Every structure is written in structure tokens, then in C-alpha cells.
Structure 1
Amino acid sequence: MGVLLKASSLAYDVVKYIGAAYLFWMGLKLLLNLKHDFPMGGEVNVRKAGILAFLRGFLTNLLNPKIGVFYVTFLPQFIPTQANVTVDSFVLALIHVGLTMLWFTLL
């Protein structure tokens, strides 16, 4: 997706506006349902809440064009000249994801 966003300004704009609309919708939903989305005590279905939180985070990151542009512009400087760009980029992205997961686990 990062290569597409770098190559096409139209694709970048589409993802940017869809992401902005999604964030606006999430904020509006939060403002309109202040008490309804936060049940107290034993009413919380932990599995359902975890899945919904994962989906929200996944959509937020997927619709954020800055992540793709970051990978396309930042990671290539760490790939040796003779290396397989696809494999090394994927490994570096996995290292970034792993470090991020570790950080958020500690946080």
C-alpha cells in the first residue's frame, strides 16, 4: 500500500479523506453515546470488547497514509544494495511491529 500511496497522489488523497471521515465518525459516535458505550462492572464482554478495539485500531492504522509513506521513505535507507528489497523491507517492518507491541505491552 505504501508504494501505491507514494506513486499516486490521488490514492494518497483518497486514503487521507477516508481516514479523516473514519476518525470524525468515531469521534462523533463517542460524543453522542457518552454513557452507552462504557458499561460498568460485570456487564463488559471482554472478548467482544477486545475484538472491537483491535478492529478500530486496525482501521485507524490502515486508513492512515502516513504509515505507508513512513515505510516507503524510512526503511529503504537500512537495506543493503545487493539485498532483496521486498524481504528486507518486510523483516524491518516486522521488527518495527514487534518493538511497538513490546512497548505497548510494557506501557
Structure 2
Amino acid sequence: MNLDMWVTCFVASWIFSLSPGAGSVFSMTNGLNYGFKRGYFGVIGLVLGLWIVFLAVVVGLGAIIQASPLAFNILKWAGVAYLFYLGLDQWRSKGSPVKVKEEHGTPVSIMSLIAKGVALNVVNPKGYIFMLAVIPQFIEYSAPLTPQYLIIAMTFAFTDLVVMAGYTGLAAKALVYLKTEAHMSMLNKVFGALFMAAAMVLATFHQVHQVS
């Protein structure tokens, strides 16, 4: 993976991690109910779950690459189209205010928090579709694949650990910006625009890469 491709991957990973979703709500819930030190173990579970999804998708991609490089390139362009559609759909969505359930009582165990984080990502079918669209954008099939997979996995894990730390530690403050329909509509437009921009950048990057 060349530097330009990795920088694109790094920037995209921040957009994906920052976009409000199930992981951010889970992290804020844990932060409010258990505090940062204990709640952050849920983030570790999220990343472990992310790696499981990543591995499952990578195994499938490996089979596609071996079967047909053309099919892999078609998949890359389909991923660009999907990311643009995802951004457009998010831009048009008003969104619902985020609701976090505050619980009082005996703190949940660390292992339970980790397990919940793992399950949240592993059982979500949207995660597999999203990864299937994203991962091929940063893979050069003619180069060794394993190092590229490791770089992408570590990049996404790093940004997730940082972003979810923010959601966990600053849960109360973050919720202020996620509690009204107006706020969510604004955020959806921001991240929808970022997804569409990312898709267009990737399309341009592919064209330049193919020409070169």
C-alpha cells in the first residue's frame, strides 16, 4: 500500500468512526452508566468485533481476487457507488434524536462489556456490507495482500479506539448535540456530505491509479 492510498484510508476511517451510529450510542451509554475507565472496555469489545467482521470479509475478498481480478475491480467500483448512496441517503435523512438509557445498580462486569461490544458488531449485517464496500478501495490486488489487510485493520482500530474514547468520556456533552431532530438532521447532512465526498475522492483515485 503506497502512502497516498494509506492517507486516504486514514482520513476515511475518521469519517466512518465519527459518524453517529450503534457503536457511538453503545459507548455513550457505557460512559454515562459506568464511567470512562470501566465503560471503555466496551470499546475494546467493539474493536474485537470489528476485527472479526474484517476477517470474515477479507476471507471472501481473497476468494474473489483468486477467482477473478476483474470481479474484484467491479466490486471496488460497486463499493464507491454504495458509499455515495450511503452518503446521499444520510444527507436526506432527518434522523431520530439519540436516546441513552441510564441504569442504576450494580456495575456490569468488564467481560460482559467486552462481550456486548463484540456482539454489537458481529451480529450487525450492515457492518459486513459496509466493510465489503470499504476494504477493496484500499487494496492493490497485484501486491502482497496480508500486509495491506493488517495496515487497514490497524488503521480502523486506531481511529475507532480514539473516537469511541471521546464518546465514552464525553458522553454527557456529546448527547447535547444528538438529542434533537434539528441537531441530528444537521449531523446527517455533514456526514452524508463527507461520505459522498469520500466516494468521489476514491473514484478519482481509482482513475488516476489506473491511468498510471
Q: After TM superposition, list the pairs within 5 Å mapping 1:88-107 onto structure 2.
A: 88-107=148-167
Q: TM-score, normalised by structure 2?
A: 0.29
On the 8 A contact 1:61/1:67 being kept in 2, the answer is yes
Please say if 1:44 is aligned against 2:112.
Answer: no
Residue 146 of structure 2 corresponds to residue 86 of structure 1: yes
Instruction: Give the C-alpha shift of residue 106 in structure 1.
Output: 2.3
Distance 2:131 2:147 in 1: 13
Q: Distance in 2 between matches of 1:73 and 1:90?
A: 17
Which runs of 5 or more residues in structure 2 are unaligned?
A: 1-55, 65-100, 168-212
Q: Distance in 2 between matches of 1:93 and 1:73?
A: 14
How much has 1:81 moved relative to structure 2? 4.2
Distance, in Å, in 2 between the alignment partners of 1:63 and 1:101 is: 20
Deviations 1:48-103 (A, max 9, x none): 2x221111111111111222222222121212343222331232022111101111
Task: Name the structure 1 match of 2:132.
Answer: 72
Q: Which structure exhibits the higher relative contact order, with contacts defined as CA atoms closer than 8 Å and separated by 6 or more residues?
A: 2
Alignment of 1:15-26 (within 5 A): none
**Aligned partner of residue 82 in structure 1, secondary structure:** coil
Q: Alignment RMSD, CA only?
A: 2.9
The percent identity for this pair of structures is: 20
Aligned-partner Cα distance in 2 for 1:85–1:70: 20
CA distance in 1, matches of 2:128, 2:144: 19
Task: Name which of 114, 136, 146 aligns with 1:54.
Answer: 114
Unaligned runs of 5+ in 1: 8-33
| Partner residue, 2:210 | none
With normalisation by structure 1, the TM-score equals 0.52
Equivalent pair of 1:71/1:93 in contact (CA under 8 Å): no
- Letter in structure 1 aligned against 2:134: F
Q: Aligned with 2:119: secondary structure? A: helix
Does the Cα contact within 8 Å between 1:76 and 1:89 map onto a contact in 2?
Answer: no
Q: Where does structure 1 differ by over 4 angstroms across 4 or more consecutive aligned residues?
A: none
